[in-house]
Amino acid sequence: MRTLSLRKLATELMEGLRHLHSLGLVHCDIKPQNVLLSSKYACMLSDLGLCKVLRDNQTSFSKHTDNVGTSGWMAPEVLSKGDVAACVKYTKAVDIFSAGCVLHYLLSRGQHPFGKEWFEREQNVRSNTSTINTGDPLADDMVAKMIQLESGARPSANAVLNHPFFWPDAKRLAFFMEVSDRIEKQDPTTPLLRRLEFEKAAVLGTTDWRTKLDPLLQTDLRKYRTYKVDTVTDLLRAIRNKKHHYRELPENLKQCLGAVPEGYLSYFTRRFPSLLMHTHAALVHCGCHREPAFNDYYSD
């Protein structure tokens, strides 16, 4: 079998779910046992025995109060409460919730966001008590959105696949470049720049982001301009400027930074793992994500 990255497995899982939903099908029983690995594909969704068909323009399906799915992996709206009406409406969001739990299980190598045992999980799902820790801030944010208590707040399968977690390295680096171009020479009091600096300590992890860089890069940065080393804004500018002038950099510095895009991007994201998600969220907060330049990064 091919050696596959966790991100590749997660991608194929969500692409399979997106395809099912595009056909008007709701799986209703997504769990690790129903995600099969194969030599031809990274993974496949199996066991469609509980699958529901949404006909014509239906957005929901009705089910009597017996549970739809497997204990420990069901969405909160699916869990029977005993005193509910005889018939309940469900949507594709039940799959998104279950898939979020499975993705966390996959990416954390065996940890369920709602606990170890099935009975513990059901109680925590009902009370919206989760522990999300995949080791990747991007994955954590994605899972958190997928397992929200309110079904209407969960993203579609297509929106999940457009989350920064799934972006290839070239797209992640291009996003940094686009944002940096957007904020160039803007007044620090504008809403976007203020938001970028909101809780910056958690992003930078230091009062001088240069201290996290190699001496070679620190020296090179000082040659050409002065940076505000305690701001997220100027860290983004530094990433953009060195990328723009990458070909002109000394060979030893190129080796230090790594090849573009993978190595170069990794150089900065290893040191500032929250930077991408922080920047992505800042644009949403200020409404800048609706600008044409960012269509490819925020489309549903």
**pLDDT per position as a tens digit, 275-287:** 999 999 999 999 9
pLDDT of residue 38: 72
* Domain of residue 213, CATH code: 1.20.1440.180
Pick from 135, 166, 197: which residue ends a domain? 166
Pick from 166, 182, 216: which residue ends a domain? 166
* Domain of residue 36, CATH code: 1.10.510.10
Q: What residues act catalytically?
A: 29
Average of pLDDT values for 141-152?
96
- Residue 296, SS3? helix
Whole-number mean pLDDT of the chain?
90
Task: Indicate whether 40 pLDDT > 70.
Answer: no
Pick from 166, 201, 218: which residue ends a domain? 166
In 3D space, the residue among 195, 203, 198 whose CA is nearest the CA of residue 277 turns out to be: 203
Task: Indicate whether 3 pLDDT > 50.
Answer: no
Average of pLDDT values for 26-48?
84
Q: Kindly state whether residues 12 and 58 are assigned to the same domain.
A: yes
Task: Indicate whether 142 pLDDT > 90.
Answer: yes
Rounded to 5 degrees, φ, ψ at 106 are -70, -50
pLDDT of residue 2: 44
Task: Indicate whether 156 pLDDT > 50.
Answer: yes
Average of pLDDT values for 216-227?
93
**pLDDT per position as a tens digit, 228-266:** 999 999 999 999 999 999 999 999 999 999 999 999 999
The number of domains in the chain is: 2
On whether the pTM is more than 0.75, the answer is yes
More confident residue, 157 or 52: 157
Q: Kindly state whether residues 91 and 105 are assigned to the same domain.
A: yes
What residue spans of the chain are helical by DSSP H? Answer: 6-22, 93-107, 118-127, 137-146, 157-161, 169-183, 191-196, 200-204, 215-224, 232-244, 251-257, 262-271, 275-286, 295-298
Q: Kindly state whether residues 231 and 195 are assigned to the same domain.
A: yes
Q: Kindly state whether residues 103 and 200 are assigned to the same domain.
A: no
pLDDT of residue 54: 80
